[in-house]
Chain A
Amino acid sequence: MAESVVHPEGEGQDPNRRDFIHIAAGAAAAGAGVAAVWPLINSMNPAADTLALASIEFDLTKVQEGQQVVIKWQGKPVFVRYRTPAEIERARAEDSAALPDPQTDAERVIEGHEQYLVLVGSCTHLGCVPTFGTGDFGGWFCPCHGSHYDTSGRIRRGPAPANLVVPTYEYLNDTRIRIG
């Protein structure tokens, strides 16, 4: 087209109306393409029923002191731990230690219910499930690549970058919580 014999010099000059039509048509096609692809991509996002499973309730009387119960929430494990006074003591004492992801123990529990620690049981490194009692800091240890968490679920050593996540939860009454 550009080398058309009819208009040897006509092309390549200032943009004319034909160029405008080419650009406009191209842009419209590109826009339509994106608009058509988006619903396809979006169909892979969480479906309505998956999102609807967002919250669960849990009865705290099921956990004994010094024990933890693991429940499944949004496909992930949640640890509900009834901490011993010694554990709470230790967690508070280490508030001022060198923490990779600084947070006090008080920020990680709900006031008046300090004995119950609720955590998403997914290592913040690559998502393995840490086990309680084998680490060097009295809390959890992740066997996958060796992350140590303390009695507040804070990261202390290893490749994980952040503390175990505290999900949003609230007390419905003294012995019942709703997670999510």
Chain B
Amino acid sequence: MSDHESTYVPKTAFERWMDSRLPIIRFGADYMSLPTPRNLNYWWTFGGILMLCLGIQIVTGILLAMHYVPNTEMAFESVERIMRDVNGGWLIRYVHANGASMFFIAAYIHMLRGLYYGSYKAPREMIWIVGCLIFFLLIGTAFLGYVLPWGQMSFHGAVVITNLIGSIPVVGGPILTWLQGGPAIDNATLNRFFSLHYLLPFLIAGCVVLHLWALHHAGQNNPVGILIPKERQAKDTLPFHPYYTVKDGFAVILFLLLFSYFVFFNPNALGHADNFIPANPLVTPAHIVPEWYLLPFYAILRAIPDKFGGVVAMFGSIGILFVLPWLDRSRIRSMRYRPIMKVLFVLFVVNGFILGWCGAELPDAHVIGNFSTFTVYDGDLNSFLWLGRFATLYYFAFFLVMPFVALKEKPLPVPSSISEPVLAPEAAIEKKG
């Protein structure tokens, strides 16, 4: 796949002229004819969906920036003005605000897809690592964006998150002041957050280019997880266009339906009521929560009884993704053929929801009923604090047991090619020990 030969033939005089100067048409044409594994399922459509999400955020964001005022006195009102007075402003803002949530839904599915089918393994480590970087930038962008409307949740969320940096021993304090541009979150902070919120999506776009470059160099993975041998390329691949443009297009339509449901019928479902109150540095909302997509990480932060330890665990939970290619020692990519990892994977997904739930609740609240069991260390066992701790433990354990699972697990037989198991199931299955 990587050494895909160009089949493009310039047809018009203009195309020939361009082809010997800036072969961009050839680049596009080669992209469309790229041999793509023929067995890609719908989980593979989220890459295209993510590109669309980025495009939507950038276009709506630039339009919002034409009306938004990054000043503590005016930010909240300028957003209200966008909602009430700017032509179609409500639509643009609701698409942007819900677009962030849709972006994360797609990103989580896309990443779990990669995890399940072993897309992080050789030769695709760099695709995975650049992807993790994109995810990290996405979190940063969403956090910065959420501060801009300057509501109560914007403000106090920013206070809590920036203070995390202040917990770094010795250098934390000066870094915090530098980051905030003053002794507290104030106008200087809002201004720079706006500047950075504008910048980061373009860094993401740059990383997407690297992500795709690495992808087309190493070749796409597929649900079976095997590399396609050169001699089987004709049988096991299809040109990207029209096969996958159409499949991706169909998935995009379904995705946009969900998107539209939120934008048009329930635009504030994923938001928080406190953000309709203008920021007031003197009063904190009773219950501070981040946006839903960051709840699992918030739960990990709170699970650790030490302030700095919590910060380390939270960043560690993302950091560990970067080294995943070296934690998983199994040679089998797809978890379809890995009976133990498959179970651990399902539990990992469930565990992610549990972490999110813990992040949304008050740590001292009871999980089941309204009774206390016994106190362990600093909290009741029947509390979200402890549930969050167990879930945090599982989150890390899932990655850390991988080297051992690879030793113990007896994989199922892996087909030797993509098309064989479909055409002649019995004959194709190569017995593996």
Stretch from A5-13, A24-32, A70-78 contacting the other chain: A70-78
What 0/1 readout, one digit per residue, does chain A (109-141) give for beta carbons within 8 Å of chain B? 000000000000110011111000000000000
For the side of the interface on A, what is the size category? 20 to 34
Check B281 against A146 for contact (C-beta < 8 Å): no
On whether A159 and B160 interact (CB within 8 A), knowing A50-B188, A77-B282, A129-B282, the answer reads no
| Assembly CA distance A74 to B183 (angstroms) | 6
Nearest-Cβ distance from residue B298 to partner chain A, whole angstroms: 11
Check B288 against A128 for contact (C-beta < 8 Å): yes
A45 within 8 A of B: yes
Could you give 21 example pairs across A and B, Cβ below 8 Å?
A41-B178, A44-B178, A46-B182, A46-B183, A47-B182, A47-B188, A50-B183, A50-B186, A70-B282, A125-B163, A126-B164, A127-B159, A127-B160, A128-B284, A128-B288, A143-B285, A144-B284, A144-B288, A145-B363, A146-B362, A159-B307
| Assembly CA distance A159 to B281 (angstroms) | 21
What 0/1 readout, one digit per residue, does chain B (261-277) give for beta carbons within 8 Å of chain A? 00000000000000000
Check A50 against B160 for contact (C-beta < 8 Å): no
B177 within 8 A of A: yes
| Assembly CA distance A44 to B284 (angstroms) | 27
Residues on the B chain within 8 Å of A129, using CB: 281-284
CB within 8 A of A126: which of B159, B177, B281, B287? B159
Number of interface residues of B (CB under 8 A): 32
Name the CB-closest residue of A to B186: A75
- B contacts, CB < 8 Å to A: 156, 159-160, 162-164, 166, 177-179, 181-186, 188, 192, 281-288, 302, 305, 307, 362-364
Nearest-Cβ distance from residue B386 to partner chain A, whole angstroms: 14
Nearest-Cβ distance from residue A179 to partner chain B, whole angstroms: 12
A-B CB proximity, top 8 nearest: A75-B184, A74-B183, A128-B284, A126-B163, A129-B284, A127-B163, A75-B186, A126-B160
Nearest-Cβ distance from residue B287 to partner chain A, whole angstroms: 7
Nearest-Cβ distance from residue A28 to partner chain B, whole angstroms: 27
On whether A45 and B181 interact (CB within 8 A), knowing A127-B159, A128-B288, the answer reads yes
What 0/1 readout, one digit per residue, does chain A (149-174) give for beta carbons within 8 Å of chain B? 00000000001010000000000000
Nearest-Cβ distance from residue B429 to partner chain A, whole angstroms: 52
CB within 8 A of A50: which of B182, B284, B302? B182
CB within 8 A of B184: which of A76, A125, A145? A76
| Assembly CA distance A161 to B163 (angstroms) | 13
Check A75 against B282 for contact (C-beta < 8 Å): no
CB within 8 A of A121: which of B282, B285, B302, B305? B282
Nearest-Cβ distance from residue A160 to partner chain B, whole angstroms: 8
| Assembly CA distance A126 to B156 (angstroms) | 10
Check B307 against A50 for contact (C-beta < 8 Å): no
Residues on the A chain within 8 Å of B163, using CB: 125-127
CB within 8 A of A161: which of B179, B188, B307? B307
Check A146 against B364 for contact (C-beta < 8 Å): yes
Nearest-Cβ distance from residue B126 to partner chain A, whole angstroms: 27
Residues on the A chain within 8 Å of B164, using CB: 126
| Assembly CA distance A70 to B280 (angstroms) | 12
CB within 8 A of B182: which of A74, A159, A161? A74
| Assembly CA distance A74 to B363 (angstroms) | 31
Check A125 against B181 for contact (C-beta < 8 Å): no
Check B281 against A50 for contact (C-beta < 8 Å): no
Known: A50-B181, A125-B163, A129-B281. 4 other contacts (CB 8 A): A45-B178, A75-B183, A126-B307, A144-B156
| Assembly CA distance A143 to B289 (angstroms) | 12
Best-surrounded residue of B164, B188, B192, B302 (most CB of chain A within 10 A): B188
| Assembly CA distance A122 to B179 (angstroms) | 18
Name the CB-closest residue of B to A45: B178
| Assembly CA distance A134 to B394 (angstroms) | 35
| Assembly CA distance A166 to B273 (angstroms) | 33
Best-surrounded residue of A76, A77, A126, A159 (most CB of chain B within 10 A): A126
Check A72 against B188 for contact (C-beta < 8 Å): no
Residues on the B chain within 8 Å of A127, using CB: 159-160, 162-163, 166
Check B181 against A47 for contact (C-beta < 8 Å): yes
Name the CB-closest residue of B to A70: B282
| Assembly CA distance A112 to B285 (angstroms) | 36
8 Å CB interface, A32-64 against B = 41, 44-47, 50
Best-surrounded residue of B177, B181, B184, B185 (most CB of chain A within 10 A): B184
Check A75 against B178 for contact (C-beta < 8 Å): no
| Assembly CA distance A56 to B43 (angstroms) | 59
Check B156 against A128 for contact (C-beta < 8 Å): yes
Residues on the A chain within 8 Å of B179, using CB: 44
Check A76 against B284 for contact (C-beta < 8 Å): no
On whether A76 and B182 interact (CB within 8 A), knowing A47-B188, A125-B307, A127-B160, the answer reads no
